[in-house]
Structure 1
Amino acid sequence: MKRHEAREKALQTLFQLEGTELTMAEAIEHVMNGENDNFYTLLVEGTYSNMADIDDKLKGHLENWSLERLPKIERTILRMAVFELAYMEDAPSRVIMNEAIELSKTFGDEKSSRFVNGVLSKFTDELEN
């Protein structure tokens, strides 16, 4: 599975986990249908298990927004991207940002990609300094 597809499936899994009573195993099975991918698993488990820290990191980069007010899809995309940027070092930040922007174009509304780009730009600027 290519990384873009793994990110799409991870997004779908994490989206299902928020606000439902599904277990991680149920959400993974629903999205993956028995298929296995290491990058996908790392994204889902890493984002989910570090969500409190990721949310703290995100809150400092949201202007005039609270994390709770964000649309669920944008919040999920941002969490996943921040996990990759802050916890993984195997992809350049530009690639991660571009992937998040593409996901927001596919799954969000017409304003999602600009919003995601703005938040992640601030976050990556802080990480690089």
Structure 2
Amino acid sequence: MKKPGTRHKARRRAVDLLFEAEAKQVSPADLVAERRVLVHTDESVGQIHPYTARVIDGLVADQAQIDAVVSSHLRGWTLERLPAVDRAILRLATWELFNATDVDPVVIVDEAVELAKELSTDESPSFVNGVLGRIADLAPQVRSAAAVELPGDAED
């Protein structure tokens, strides 16, 4: 078995934080900020990896869009009916598919499936793979559109 890499651990921490924030009904960004303060006084609280923070910040900024995309690609399910951990994994991976241009979409889907294997039900890995496979088809267009928007945004 391959040893998980740093980015895998950062993704897992992001899923944990998304899950916890939903359970506590708080913003994931607020939870990250709280942990960054706590790490100085509580040795049991680990540092927040920069990639974890990047994903959480991106998800908070784009949550309505991400949820709409995930919801539109579910078959026979609603976002609210999914197990909370599956929701967190799908949100994380969808954000990455659209925004993490330094990561191949195949890797993103594989990582999400691995997280589902580690954290969720026996049926979740294939479910997550199917949903993300459909969403991954959109990733090239979304990434291209974002790349075209960036130069114009820099001038503002």
**Alignment TM-score, normalising by the size of structure 2:** 0.74
Instruction: Single out whichever of 2-11 and 27-36 deviates more from structure 2.
Output: 27-36
* Residue in structure 2 matched with residue 11 of structure 1 by the alignment: 15
2: CA distance, partners of 1:62 / 1:98: 18
Identity of aligned residues (%): 35
Task: Flag structure 2 segments of 5+ consecutive residues without an equivalent.
Answer: 40-44, 142-156
Query: Where do 4+ consecutive residues of structure 1 move more than 6 Å?
Result: none
Within a 5 Å distance, the mapping from 1:23-38 to structure 2 comes to 23-24=27-28, 27-28=31-32, 29=35, 33=45, 35-38=47-50
2: CA distance, partners of 1:71 / 1:20: 15
**Greater relative contact order (Cα < 8 A, sep 6+):** 1
Task: Flag structure 1 segments of 5+ consecutive residues without an equivalent.
Answer: none
* Residue in structure 1 matched with residue 136 of structure 2 by the alignment: 124
TM-superposed deviation, 1:23: 4.9
TM-superposed deviation, 1:86: 0.9
- Do the aligned partners of 1:84 and 1:96 also contact (CA within 8 Å) in 2? yes
| Offset from partner CA, 1:72-118 (integer Å, 9 cap, x none) | 11011000000000122110001100100000000001000000000
What root-mean-square deviation, in Å, do the aligned CA atoms of Structure 1 and Structure 2 show?
Answer: 2.2
Count the aligned residue pairs.
129
- 2:24 partner SS: coil
**Alignment TM-score, normalising by the size of structure 1:** 0.89
1:95 to 91, 99, 107: 107
CA 1:25–1:94 in structure 2 vs 1: closer, same or farther (change >3 Å)?
Answer: closer
TM-superposed deviation, 1:26: 5.7
2: CA distance, partners of 1:23 / 1:60: 23
- 1:51 partner SS: helix
| Offset from partner CA, 1:12-69 (integer Å, 9 cap, x none) | 0111111424454663318972514211110111112211110011111101111111
